Amino acid sequence: MRRYVLLLVAAAVPLTEASSKCKPEDYKWPSDFFYGCGTSAYQIEGAWNGGGRGTSIWDTISHNTTVVVGGDTGDVADDHYHRFEEDVDFFAEELGVETYSFSISWPRILPNGRGPVNEPGVQFYVKLLQALKKRNVTPICKLFHWDLPQALQTEYGGWTSKRVIADFDHYASIVLDRLGSMCDMWITLNEPSMICSKVLEYTLGREPKEEKLLCGHHALLAHAAAVKTFRAKGFKNKKISLINDGPFQLPLDATSAVDRNAARKAMEYSIGWFAAPIWLGDYPEVMRRELGDLLPAFTAQELNDLKGSADFLAFDAYTSQWASALLDPDSCSVTRTESPAWPSCVNSTQTRIDQRTGDTVPIGIPTQSDWNYLVPSGFRVGLRFLNDMYSPPAIVISENGMGVIGEARKDLRDALRDTARINWYQETLRELRSAIHDDNIPVVGFLAWSCLDNFEWEMGYGVRFGIAHVNYDTQKRTAKDSAFFLRSTFTRKETGLFIET
């Protein structure tokens, strides 16, 4: 293994007022802080028609050769379905993770979305959880990471119909009966704002408009129903939540009150959309006021079920955007749903033109994904927003990561030297450390996305997010340098940052 040296914090960062309060040795990860990595079923499992699995909307999307770059599919992906035992050994031994977050494939458990249970599907997850236990890796179990059974999409339009609420609750109940005792941390839905925008777009074949709000409403109610079911089963010491996401928003001009308001409003419309009903008891006030009847209303009982329906706040934190007012305010409104800025009607951008030089300036360091720039200051601002707005007892960073530019074309040796990814994590963890120590934000765990290179949705295999390289011809896994960096950063329980000697 390569060697890393501890960079003293004082040498690594300029002494700001905040950091001077602490001596370097005071910066430790909290003693129960956990480090891990995450995956999702469709992105790694493969065996798309094996073991009695039904089809999911992602089989349909990827088999439509016009959608995914290069015509890539998840038919085989990382072949994790057949290799999970070696993978768990690899996660424990090579990546050194303490926690592993994965998702359960709904159509593997219920091939038609409801009806008969597919026993081999259940057994796959039982064996996976047994393997994790044997290696002392703590599981985080996600009930849904975008792979809706196609049968439910065909029958009633999936998340746009309220019928999905009862079906999701039923699926959750079956999984919890069979696997509930084996996993202490549960997630209902991963990134509902993406389920109701990008994923819905691929299933509809066009950009969703009003359906977005309906989809979000049903996602929230499905979450609340599943949490009620979870709590009724009387588990002891088990926790449940929903994973929120959304780019953090920074005012384009920090001195402008208009831009500061735009940033706040954009976060209400993306993050607050799902966080406010759960933590505060209804949609954000600004959404209610501006969207009026377009935003479905909750009954008193539904509000009651939603409020407090999370034991911790889980957030997939990637990047930030600049927020400002639209240059043409009339281009977007409640009734102008065709605007790309609908429904928030905020101009969110990741580039701006420098007035003096005419150059295009990006918000941060670019990565292989056009939406994902490294913006360390935005990460800290975002954590403060989550903490100030929702006061959660604990926050888990449930995903964070990037694809190195050109990595998919590199040979193995070059792909393993992922210094841009190390830089990404170094900068991000520096802000995380300050958020914990200087801002007193209760972040309790950090999960790198992803444990393995995998099927990156509409980008196929053209973007590699793994801290481990996957050779898709041989299915060989190899830890990248970033995996060693993360491992040494977290296992030494110090937040001083490490670099390779």
Ligand X SMILES: *[C@@H]1O[C@H](CO)[C@@H](O)[C@H](O)[C@H]1NC(C)=O
Active site residues: 191, 399
Residues 429-488 interacting with ligand X (rule: CB under 6 A): none
Chain centroid to Cα 35, Å, comes to 15
Question: Minimum distance from CB of 381 to ligand X (Å)?
Answer: 19
Q: Return the amino acid letter for 179.
A: L
Q: Which stretch binds ligand X (CB under 6 A): 85-93, 172-180, 323-331, 455-463?
A: 323-331
The CA–CA distances, whole Å, from 281 to 159, 306, 358 equal 22, 7, 46
Q: Are 371 and 422 in contact (CB under 8 A)?
A: no
Residues 244-263 interacting with ligand X (rule: CB under 6 A): 252
- The answer to whether 333 contacts ligand X (rule: CB under 6 A) is no
Interface with ligand X (CB under 6 A), residue from 67, 76, 303, 334: 67
- The answer to whether 352 contacts ligand X (rule: CB under 6 A) is yes
Give the helix/strand (H/E) hosting 144.
strand 138-144
Q: Are 145 and 74 in contact (CB under 8 A)?
A: no
Residue 207 or 439 having the CB closest to ligand X: 207
Residue 137 or 263 having the CB closest to ligand X: 263
In whole angstroms, give the CA distance from residue 117 to residue 411.
Answer: 43
Q: Which stretch binds ligand X (CB under 6 A): 13-21, 128-136, 148-156, 322-330?
A: 322-330
Residue 136 or 360 having the CB closest to ligand X: 360
Residue 293 or 330 having the CB closest to ligand X: 330
- The answer to whether 304 contacts ligand X (rule: CB under 6 A) is no
The CA–CA distances, whole Å, from 145 to 141, 180, 230, 242 equal 10, 18, 18, 11
Q: Which stretch binds ligand X (CB under 6 A): 121-129, 160-168, 320-328, 486-494?
A: 320-328
Query: Comparing C-alpha atoms, which of 177, 129, 147, 182 is closest to residue 47?
Result: 147
Q: Which stretch binds ligand X (CB under 6 A): 219-227, 266-274, 347-355, 436-444?
A: 347-355
**Residue 391, φ and ψ in degrees, nearest 5:** 40, 50
Question: Minimum distance from CB of 252 to ligand X (Å)?
Answer: 6
Q: Are 488 and 2 in contact (CB under 8 A)?
A: no
Question: Minimum distance from CB of 205 to ligand X (Å)?
Answer: 4
Interface with ligand X (CB under 6 A), residue from 309, 347, 350, 428: 347
Residue 300 burial (10 A CB sphere; 0-12, 13-18, 19+): exposed
Please, where are the H alpha helices in 183-325?
192-194, 200-204, 210-232, 257-267, 273-279, 285-291, 300-306
Sorted by sequence, the CB contacts under 8 Å of residue 8 that are 6+ apart come out as 24, 496
- SS3 at position 153: helix
Residue 455 or 465 having the CB closest to ligand X: 455
Give the angle subtended at the CA of 268 by the CAs of 241 and 456, to the nearest 5°: 60
In whole angstroms, give the CA distance from residue 429 to residue 133.
Answer: 28
Sorted by sequence, the CB contacts under 8 Å of residue 154 that are 6+ apart come out as none
- The answer to whether 321 contacts ligand X (rule: CB under 6 A) is no
Question: Minimum distance from CB of 475 to ligand X (Å)?
Answer: 29
Q: Which stretch binds ligand X (CB under 6 A): 319-327, 407-415, 452-460, 471-479?
A: 319-327
Count of residues that bind ligand X according to CB under 6 A: 12
Question: Minimum distance from CB of 326 to ligand X (Å)?
Answer: 4
Question: Minimum distance from CB of 151 to ligand X (Å)?
Answer: 16
Residues 173-212 interacting with ligand X (rule: CB under 6 A): 205
Query: Comparing C-alpha atoms, which of 228, 53, 271, 37 is closest to residue 138?
Result: 37
Interface with ligand X (CB under 6 A), residue from 123, 130, 349, 491: 349
In whole angstroms, give the CA distance from residue 129 to residue 88.
Answer: 10
Q: Are 488 and 501 in contact (CB under 8 A)?
A: no
- The answer to whether 355 contacts ligand X (rule: CB under 6 A) is no
Residue 237 or 357 having the CB closest to ligand X: 357
- SS3 at position 338: coil
Residue 28 or 63 having the CB closest to ligand X: 63
Question: Minimum distance from CB of 196 to ligand X (Å)?
Answer: 17
Interface with ligand X (CB under 6 A), residue from 294, 326, 394, 416: 326
Question: Minimum distance from CB of 37 to ligand X (Å)?
Answer: 32
Question: Minimum distance from CB of 260 to ligand X (Å)?
Answer: 15
Interface with ligand X (CB under 6 A), residue from 324, 350, 368, 400: 324
- SS3 at position 293: helix
Q: Are 116 and 108 in contact (CB under 8 A)?
A: no
- The answer to whether 327 contacts ligand X (rule: CB under 6 A) is yes
Q: Which stretch binds ligand X (CB under 6 A): 324-332, 369-377, 437-445, 457-465?
A: 324-332
Q: Which stretch binds ligand X (CB under 6 A): 60-68, 240-248, 257-265, 369-377?
A: 60-68
Residues forming contacts to ligand X in the complex (CB under 6 A) are: 64, 66-67, 205, 252, 324, 326-327, 347, 349, 352-353
